[in-house]
Structure 1
């Protein structure tokens, strides 16, 4: 468990796919998730989440051999003593993976697991950013 200087945080904005895990990470570090009306010490507004998939390489026959996948989350933060929100921040993670039509099901599962790992990495990155903020 890591020390965090905020005891109450509100998570606002879009209900993104990692919101639940972010809340779990915060509560496991003894942070109460509260409503914005309860004057939290820190407010996090989740603005957007997106995934992207790009072809990295093709075989000699023009078949996809390798993909690059991205996961991005945009957010902004406001402390209780601040009148305005901080600048919008971006967390981006990316992974490469090989592709094969002959292993379609296993490759789809691999892609799903990579997306989940990138989402968890984004949560860790956001948590680390919160730790750096001082009251």
Structure 2
């Protein structure tokens, strides 16, 4: 009985310490603007970007409506490289890259910012005996890199507004 009370006390004490130090899970940075226009090329992650913006109560407007922030999407690239080979010359590992180029403009600036690049990279093993599974793994890794890129884009935008 004493042992159970001791464990509960330790658990409660740990929770109090964690919450009192300000610990919280990392999420999206709070956005300090309410309107944004997305210009340039329609990239594969543009739909997710718009969805994430609207879910954070940011209105997507036309550039002529004087948004608080303008984002111009310049390019998107995906690349896949062989990272290692087996002794028989078969691919063992791949490295995949996902990169976007963009620039921003605020109402108080007369010119666009310099071109910014966000890049995400993942490594994964490959096996000819499990082609379908490895293709699905690659698809999921590409999707996670797009989500990571959107999060990084938000963080960069937030820095530009400060």
TM-score range, shorter chain: over 0.9
Greater relative contact order, per chain length (Cα 8 Å cut-off, separation 6+)? 1
Q: Deviations over 1:44-86 (max 9, x none)?
A: 0000000000101000000000000000000000001111000
* Equivalent in 118, 134, 144 of residue 107 of structure 1: 134
Higher helix share: 2
CA drift at 1:2: 4.6
Measure the CA separation in 2 of the matches of 1:77 and 1:133. Answer: 9
When residues 71 and 2 of structure 1 are mapped into structure 2, their CA distance, relative to the original with a 3 A threshold, is closer
CA drift at 1:133: 2.2
| Root mean square deviation of aligned Cα | 1.1
Higher strand share: 1
Asked whether the equivalents of residues 29 and 155 of structure 2 are also in contact (C-alpha less than 8 Å), the reply is no
* Equivalent in 35, 38, 42 of residue 15 of structure 1: 42
3-state SS of the aligned residue for 1:102?
helix
Structure 1's unaligned 5+ residue stretches are none
Asked whether the equivalents of residues 72 and 91 of structure 1 are also in contact (C-alpha less than 8 Å), the reply is yes
Measure the CA separation in 2 of the matches of 1:21 and 1:61. Answer: 41
What TM-score do the two structures reach when normalised by structure 2?
Answer: 0.81
Aligned residues: 135
Asked whether the equivalents of residues 2 and 29 of structure 1 are also in contact (C-alpha less than 8 Å), the reply is no
1:134 equivalent in structure 2: 161
Larger CA Rg, structure 1 vs 2: 2
Q: Which runs of 4+ in 1 moved over 3 A?
A: none
What TM-score do the two structures reach when normalised by structure 1?
Answer: 0.96
Structure 2's unaligned 5+ residue stretches are 1-27
